[in-house]
Chains A and B, each alone.
Chain A
Amino acid sequence: MTMLLSSLAWLAGAVFLAGSVFRAVKYARTPVPLRWELYPIPPGAAGQIRYTLAEILLLRGVCQHNRKLWLRTYPFHLGIYLCALAVASLAAGVERFTEAAALAGLVLLLAGACALLAARLFDPALKPYTSPADLFNLAWFMAAAGVPLAAFSLEGAPPASVWRAVLTFHPVPPLAGAGVALAALLAAYIPFTHMAHFVVKYFAYHKVRWDRSPAPAVAAQLLYTPHWSAPHVGADGVKSWADVAAANPPAREKKP
C-alpha cells in the first residue's frame, strides 16, 4: 500500500507537469491570431512582470473589479500557493516553516473552497452558470484540504510530515494516506480542466492582449483553405485565405 501511494504521488506530479506542458503546447500551436490587443498595456518588460506578479500573488484583477469574490477566491488561491510552497520546501530542512505553511495552506484552501462552493450554490449571479463539473471540482478541493486536516486532528499526522513520508516511500496513517491520494489525483486532473488557467493566462496576456509584434507565421496561415459556406465568402474548398481576400465577388454582381 505504501508503495502504491508513493508511486501515485510521484506519478501525479509527473502527470501535472506533463499535462501543463501539453496544455501550453496546445495553445502555442494555435495559429497566430490577428492583432487583438487591449489597453492599457503595461510599459516594458519590467512593467509586464510587475503586473503579472500582482495578478498571480494578489489576484489584483479580481480585487479591483469584484471584491466580494476576491474575499472568497484569494484564501483559496493563497492556500494552494502555501501548500505548493510547503511541498517545495520539504527538502530544504525548514521543518517548522514547512509544517506551518502546509497547515495554513490547507485551512485557507478549505475555507476558500467552502466559500466558493456556497457562492456557486446560492449566489443568483453565479448559480445559473454553474456546471456539475464546477461543483465536483470544488468538492474535490474541499476533500483534498479537509481530509489531511482531519488526519492531523484524529491521527496526529502533520500534513507536511505525511507528504515527506509518502514521497520517500514510508508508511502513513490511513486517513492521512487518503488525503495524499485525493491531493495527488487532483493535481493530475487539474491540467486537463479549465483550472489550468495558470498556463493559459500567459497566452491570453502575452500572446493576445499585449502582443503588437509582427507575425511572419501569418504568411503561411494565409495559405490555409477556408470552407465557409455563405456565397459571398466564395470559399470553394480550394481557394486559400489569400485568394478569398484578393477576390471581390460583389464587384462582379449587378447592382440590384
Chain B
Amino acid sequence: MSPDRYSALALPQPQSPAEERELVRAFLSGLEKLFRRQDNWTFLRPLLITVEHCVRCQTCSEACHIFTGSGRQEIYRPTYRSEILRRLYFKYIQHRRWQGAVELDWRTVSNLAELAYRCNLCRRCAQACPMGADNGLVAHELRKLFSQEMGIAPKELHAAGSLVQLRTGSTTGMNPAAARDNFDFIDQEMTEKTGIPIKTPWDVEGADVLLIHNAGEVLAWPENPGAFAVMLTAAGVSWTLSSDLTAYDAVNYGLWYDDAQFARVALRQVEAARKLKVKRIVIGECGHAHKALIVIADRLLPSDLNLPRESSMTLMRDLVLSGRLPVDPARNAFPVTLHDPCNMTRLMGLTEPQRDVLRAVCPDIREMSPNRTDNYCCGGGSGFALMSGKTFLDWRLEIAGARKMEQVLAAFAGCMDPSIPKYICAPCSNCKGQFRDLLARRGLWKSNRIFYGGLAELVVNAMRDAKPGFLEWEWR
C-alpha cells in the first residue's frame, strides 16, 4: 500500500481485520507519545508549533524541490502529510472536530508511513514559512513514530543500518580489524599515487584531531579518506582514527528516523574521543554526520563528553589558506561546481570554508543557483541515497533529484562538450552517492564527461608536494 507507485518500506498488507485494527491501535498509541513530553521531549516544542500553527497557506510548496520536481503532484506538497497528521492530532489528541475531517484506518497509517519517506528533511520549506512552521520536521517525527513505536523503518536505515553499526561498529558491517585492513590498503595506494609515505595512525592517545569518516567512503570512494591522510600527513597534523565501536564510522542514521538510535551512536562516538584524550573531533566529508554530532547531539552530551567538534571544511581551509599545504590551482584546470549539502549549509550555516578552499585550489568555479543556505537538496538526503527498495530508486532519481540536475546542467552550460571534463564537488558521502546514481541514470559521464567527487580530492590533486594526477577520472 503506497500513495504513489513507489515504495520505501514495502509494508505488507494486513491479512485480517484484527491485523488492521492492531495497526491502527499501534499508530494511535505512537501518536499519543509523539505529543507527550516524557516520550518526545527532544522535538515536542517545534512539533507543536507546526501542528497547531501551520495555516496551510502553501507558501512552502514552491520551495520544495520534490513538489516542484514532481510536476507539483499534490501528495508531495510539504503540507500534505502534515495536514493528515494535524487533523489526526486535533481529532484524537485534542478531541476537536472543526479542524477538518480525517478517517483513520490501516490505509491512512500505511500511506503516512510511506509519505514520511517522500521528504528529504532538507527543511527548505521551513525556511520559506512565515509562521516558523516546519513541515520537514513533521516527516521526521512521523518516521520516529513508526520506528520507535511500531518498529517500522526502511531496512537500509535500521536493520541493515544503525543496528549493524551498533553491533559491529559500522553500518558497512566492517569491524575494527576489517577497517584497519582497508586503511592499510588505502595507505599503500596513496603512497604510490602521491609519492608521500602514508601510514594512517590508529588509537593515538592525546592526538590533536580524531578524524571520523563516513565508513562508506572507505568502500565506495577510498580516495577520499586517502586524500585526508595525505593532507594531514603532509601538513604535519597530529591526528588519529579510533577503532572503537561506531567511532570509525561517522554516520548516524538515527538522525533521520529514531532518537534512541541517534543518541546511542553519538554517545559512543564522543566516548571514544574522550578515551583517547584527543583535543577535538573532526568530521570527514559527510553532511548528516556533521549535523548529527556537531549540532543535534550538542545538548544531549553531558559536559564531560561535550568535546570540541569541528568540520573537515574548516580544517581544510586552515591547512590550505595558512600555506601548510602549498597548492597549484593550475592542476585543477577544469570547470568545477560546488554542491551545498543541506546538512552543512541550511542546517548548520557552514557555507564559506569549502568555498575558500575551492577558490584556492580551482581556477574555474561555477556556482549553482540558488546556492549556500538556499541550495536545493540533491534528492538523496535523509538516507534516500542509501535506499533503493523495489522502485524507490526511480523516485529519488526522477523526482527527488530533478531540480538538482537542472542546477548542475545550468552551472555547466557552455562547457558541455565531452572533451571538457567537469567536476561536481560534493563534500558529503550521501550526496556523492546520489550524484553517482543521477549521472549514471542520465548518462552524463559517458556523454558529457560530468564527474563527481569530494573536496579533499581536489586539494590533493592541486598539492605541489604530491605527484600530479591524483584525480584519475575513472567512473565508479
Contacts and interface: CB of A to CB of B under 8 A. Distances in A.
Contacts of A69: 57-59
Nearest to A222: B300
A34 B259 CA distance: 10
Contacts of A132: 98, 100
B133 A204 contact: yes
A39 B348 contact: yes
A38 B347 contact: yes
Contacts of A197: 53, 55, 131
Given A38-B123, A62-B57, A224-B38, A255 B167 contact: yes
Given A55-B130, A65-B130, A229-B149, A33 B61 contact: no
Given A65-B62, A248-B166, A34 B43 contact: yes
B67 to A, nearest CB: 11
A138 B54 CA distance: 16
A69 B134 CA distance: 19
Interface in B73-121: 74, 77, 79, 83, 98-100
Contacts of B100: 129-132
Contacts of B137: 36
A59 B130 contact: yes
Given A61-B59, A229-B29, A229-B149, A245 B300 contact: yes
Nearest to B127: A38
B464 interface: no
B43 A33 contact: yes
B245 A31 contact: no
A190 B425 CA distance: 50
A10 interface: no
Contact of A201 (B30, B123, B132): B132
A31 B41 CA distance: 5
B48 interface: yes
B4 interface: no
Contacts of A209: 126, 132, 134
A66 interface: yes
B41 A253 contact: no
A134 to B, nearest CB: 8
B37 interface: yes
A231 B260 CA distance: 11
Interface residues of B, number: 79
Interface stretch (B199-207, B261-269, B397-405, B412-420): B261-269
Interface residues on A, range: 35 or more
A194 interface: yes
B330 interface: no
A228 B45 contact: no
A4 interface: no
B295 interface: yes
B5 interface: no
B166 A251 contact: yes
Contacts of A44: none
Contacts of A229: 26, 29-30, 148-150
B151 A231 contact: yes
Greatest chain A CB density within 10 A among B48, B49, B134, B149 is at: B49
Contacts of A37: 295, 347-349
A222 B303 CA distance: 14
B116 to A, nearest CB: 15
A31 B44 contact: yes
Interface in A209-256: 209, 214-215, 218-219, 221-222, 224-235, 241, 244-251, 253, 255
A32 interface: yes
Given A131-B98, A230-B148, 16 more contacts: A27-B48, A64-B128, A65-B128, A66-B57, A66-B58, A73-B57, A132-B100, A133-B98, A204-B53, A204-B133, A205-B132, A221-B41, A232-B260, A251-B167, A253-B163, A255-B168
24 contacts: A31-B41, A31-B45, A33-B46, A36-B134, A37-B349, A65-B60, A65-B63, A125-B61, A130-B100, A131-B98, A132-B100, A133-B99, A197-B131, A218-B299, A226-B39, A228-B39, A229-B30, A232-B158, A233-B148, A233-B260, A246-B267, A248-B264, A251-B245, A253-B163
Shortest 9 CB-CB distances between A and B: which pairs? A204-B132, A61-B130, A31-B41, A245-B263, A129-B56, A39-B349, A131-B100, A66-B59, A228-B148
Interface of A: 27, 30-41, 55, 59-62, 64-66, 69, 73, 125-126, 128-133, 136, 194, 196-197, 200-201, 203-205, 207-209, 214-215, 218-219, 221-222, 224-235, 241, 244-251, 253, 255
